Amino acid sequence: MKRVGLMILGFLWLVQSQAQTPRERDEKVIADLLERLIENTEATVDYTDLQDQLEQYNKSKLNINTVSREQLQRLFFLDDAQINAIINHRQKFGNFLTLYELQTIPALDEQTIYYLTYFVTVDEDWQQDQTRFLQMLRKGKHELIGLYDTELEKRAGYDATLKDQGKSYYMGNKERYVFRYRFNYGSRLAFGYNAETDMGERFTWNSSTKGFDFNSIHFYYRPRKGIVKTIALGDYQINFGQGLTFGSGLAARKSAFVLNVRRSYLPIRPYRSLNETEFMRGAAVMLGDKKWQVVLFGSRKYISTNYNAQDTSAPQDFFSSIDLSGLHRTPTELAKSNNVLQTIVGANAQWRFKDGYVGLTHVQTNYDIAFLSGTSLYQRYNFSGTQLGNSGVDYKYQWRNMSFFGEFSISSNQAKAFTTGVAISLDPNLDVLLLYRNFAKDYQTTYNNPFSENTDGRNEKGFYTGASLRLSRKWLLNSYVDIYSSPWLRFQVDGPSRGVDVLGELQYLPSKTAQVYFRVRHEYKTKNQAGSTEKVDYLSEQSRTVFRFNAQYKMSLNVTLKSRVETTLFSDDVSTQKTGTLIFQDVNWSAPRKQFGLIFRVAYFTVEDYNARVYAAENDVLYQYSVPMYQNSGMRYYAVMRCKITRKIELWAKWSQTVYSNVNTISSGLEQINGNTVSDVRLQLRWIL
């Protein structure tokens, strides 16, 4: 009876979200989760890849009555106590009759249940789907998206006289174009085409550029039966184990999801992002059965490097750095584009047993021109040569309330790296995760994304502890401590270095419509002292503390308010403490019938120094994510409009402007703007066929 009563309450609780269409709700939940995942990130990169992972999980909803622990771990917002509670509930009471029954599980709070309903189902999931290929082609959805993006102010690189003066200049105009075509049938069949021309790049058709500067095609198919489980052609992503031996694409880093450091990804995913470097191009296939799984892949693509031709100082052609920016705006940047052929082949085999699995991976990378590392001391152990091999063993094992995971890798120079950890569900209200990693200073890879402080996955030792404590249904305490060191030098770190990163977040959910959290993040690390006039750089202890208060309140079905105050304090051994402060207010309004929506933000910021900079994630047009950096002093405003023109056509527009009060020029070099204002306009149209 209690079960039935709670189901009715659950139904009423979910009613408020029914005003939106399923597609809109899916997109909103994915955007919410992504924002939470990247809001702690302090970098401006393309997050479409992370968004794509979430979308993939959303499209291939898991049957909650058959889902495995491993599959639930991919939903990073679930902790181990919640996963245990779901599985225990299923074992104790039998299959879930409806998703509303999730509310009978005390370990699941309202927000988690809300998210979970978008990724699980009680109906047949895609694995039971028997639709044939041609039927899928008929039933699937086609989507066309066009994006136009421009800045209203002119940057120095667009000055037409630069070319005549023989100086570097931007060859294209100050407009960015994106075109996307997507076909999807759930998660079983997807194909599409994505293209982009960045601001300053030429949109032209000649021997070197074919229309857009970046073009990407993908095809992804999961057959309904047989030994072949997945086929990917064109551009795709590969992730194995903990991402130490091989992992392309973005992986979540330290965030407010403090337990989300264990990697748990689909081995093959279609690539639909616009990042121009972090993907594979070729073919991949996954074969398997209940007990085993084998992934084979091959990739062959041209990458952009600082290619140097053979001359008197160099006995052979070589390159010493790979351009990860994907920007080809100037003649110099264009000359560096797609000039070295990179070939990667690899295989992963996985044996599954009752409570875990063991996997083996080998990946071989080949360049047609030799990579020669720089001669700086910090580059001493970098890869040099034309061939690089990586092998690894990874595992996961569940024992009682403990989930063990890890990976050991070795590169072809015999350098070793390993990462291992355990997630322990100590109580339905307390989860703890411990992770130790030790990557040798000379460990070398081409693509990897293990959990680490630094992005290169080498020259690092560290111990991470994350804990999530639900004090009650309304109060949640999240925290992590990460203590790390680098035994060898790094860029701008001329000595063995160390650091500590601590986060504490107290979340309060006073009602279904309000959320408040207070967060403190403190990091200290040793780096070269900036601005030193000594002949030899020396390391100093630099500490950065960020205080954030964030409140979100849904005033009505149509209006949501969000407020934030954030202060950063930075200090080092020499200079006085520097402060950076950001205050913003968001208003999110949707018309009653959801045909039209508006989001406004007004932000005030005053930042004394680059080291005290502040980041804040912004709303954007669909499939675009931005986390701008706030520096200097001033105001930033933006407005995002969404308008459903017809049932199948939607329009987004975003206008943003930053007005600085203490500078007269913005940025430098070709990016310089003479003035104190920078404004951006984006228009995006989507047509669902």
Partner 1 sequence: MKKLFGCFLVICSLLNVVNAQVSTAIIGGDVAQLGGISAKQQSAYSAINNPALMPLLAHWQSGVYSEQRFGLKELTLSNISVVMPTKSVHIGAAINYFGFSNYNQQRFVLSAAKKLSESFSLGVQLNYQLTNIVDYGSAGAWVAGAGFMYKPTHQLTVSGFVFNPTQQKLSLAVADKIPSLFRLGLAYQVNDKVDVLAEGEQQLEQKINVRAGLRYQVHPRVGLGIGFNSNPVAVHFGTSIKFNQVMIDAAAGVHQVLGVIPQVGIRFPFKK
Least distance to partner 1 from the beta carbon of 467, Å? 7
Cα pseudo-dihedral 53, 55, 58, 59, rounded to 10: -110
CA atoms within 13 A on the CB side of 202: 14
Whole-number Cα distances in Å, 249 to 45, 90, 221, 287 = 11, 34, 20, 22
| Residue with smaller CB distance to partner 1, 277 or 465 | 465
Least distance to partner 1 from the beta carbon of 52, Å? 36
Least distance to partner 1 from the beta carbon of 472, Å? 11
| Residue with smaller CB distance to partner 1, 221 or 436 | 436
Query: What DSSP string describes 524-590?
Result: EEEEEPTT--SSS--EEEEEEEEEEEEEEEE-SSSEEEEEEEEEEEEE-SSSPPEEEEEEEEEEEEE
| Residue with smaller CB distance to partner 1, 258 or 410 | 258
Least distance to partner 1 from the beta carbon of 503, Å? 12
| Residue with smaller CB distance to partner 1, 431 or 618 | 431
Query: What DSSP string describes 607-648?
Result: ESSGGG-EE--B--STT--B-PEE-SEEEEEEEEEEEE-SSS
659 token code pair: 């007005």
Q: Angle, to 10 degrees, between the axis of helix 48-59 and the axis of helix 22-38?
A: 140
| Residue with smaller CB distance to partner 1, 173 or 465 | 465
Cα separation, 220 vs 186, whole angstroms = 11
Cα separation, 12 vs 298, whole angstroms = 50
Least distance to partner 1 from the beta carbon of 463, Å? 6
| Residue with smaller CB distance to partner 1, 505 or 586 | 505
**Sign (positive or negative) of CA dihedral 127, 130, 134, 140:** negative
| Residue with smaller CB distance to partner 1, 144 or 469 | 469
Least distance to partner 1 from the beta carbon of 333, Å? 41
Least distance to partner 1 from the beta carbon of 72, Å? 23
Least distance to partner 1 from the beta carbon of 525, Å? 11
| Residue with smaller CB distance to partner 1, 429 or 540 | 429
Ranges assigned E (strand) in 412-513: 416-427, 430-439, 460-470, 475-486, 497-511
Cα separation, 373 vs 305, whole angstroms = 12
Least distance to partner 1 from the beta carbon of 504, Å? 9
Amino acid at 10: G
| Residue with smaller CB distance to partner 1, 254 or 562 | 254
Least distance to partner 1 from the beta carbon of 196, Å? 44
Cα separation, 147 vs 499, whole angstroms = 42
Least distance to partner 1 from the beta carbon of 532, Å? 22
The residues binding partner 1 (CB under 8 A) are 424, 426-427, 429-430, 432, 434, 463, 465, 467, 469, 479, 481, 483, 485, 498, 500, 502
| Residue with smaller CB distance to partner 1, 347 or 434 | 434
| Residue with smaller CB distance to partner 1, 144 or 434 | 434
Cα separation, 420 vs 412, whole angstroms = 21
Least distance to partner 1 from the beta carbon of 520, Å? 11
List Cβ<8 Å contacts ≥24 apart for 105-110.
106/428, 107/81, 107/82, 107/428, 107/429, 107/470, 108/82, 109/470, 109/473, 109/476, 109/509, 110/13, 110/473, 110/509, 110/512
| Residue with smaller CB distance to partner 1, 485 or 513 | 485
| Residue with smaller CB distance to partner 1, 239 or 478 | 478
Least distance to partner 1 from the beta carbon of 90, Å? 23
| Residue with smaller CB distance to partner 1, 426 or 643 | 426
Cα separation, 276 vs 263, whole angstroms = 23
| Residue with smaller CB distance to partner 1, 362 or 498 | 498
Cα pseudo-dihedral 528, 531, 533, 538, rounded to 10: -10
> Which residues on neighbouring strands pair with residue 442, listed in sequence order?
none
Buried-state track 163-188, b at ≥16 Cβ within 10 A, e below 16: eeeeeebbbbebbbbbbbbbbbbbbb
Evaluate whether 4 touches 97 at the Cβ level (below 8 Å). no
List Cβ<8 Å contacts ≥24 apart for 671-675.
671/155, 671/156, 671/157, 672/155, 672/156, 673/153, 673/154, 673/155, 673/156, 674/156, 675/153
CB neighbours of residue 642 within 10 Å: 22
Evaluate whether 447 touches 248 at the Cβ level (below 8 Å). yes
| Residue with smaller CB distance to partner 1, 372 or 483 | 483
Least distance to partner 1 from the beta carbon of 560, Å? 33
Evaluate whether 209 touches 196 at the Cβ level (below 8 Å). no
Least distance to partner 1 from the beta carbon of 550, Å? 23
Query: What DSSP string describes 1-50?
Result: -HHHHHHHHHHHHHHGGGGS-HHHHHHHHHHHHHHHHHTT--S----HHH
Q: What are phi and psi of 623, to 5 degrees?
A: 70, 10
Least distance to partner 1 from the beta carbon of 514, Å? 25
Cα separation, 609 vs 671, whole angstroms = 20
| Residue with smaller CB distance to partner 1, 282 or 487 | 487
Least distance to partner 1 from the beta carbon of 109, Å? 16
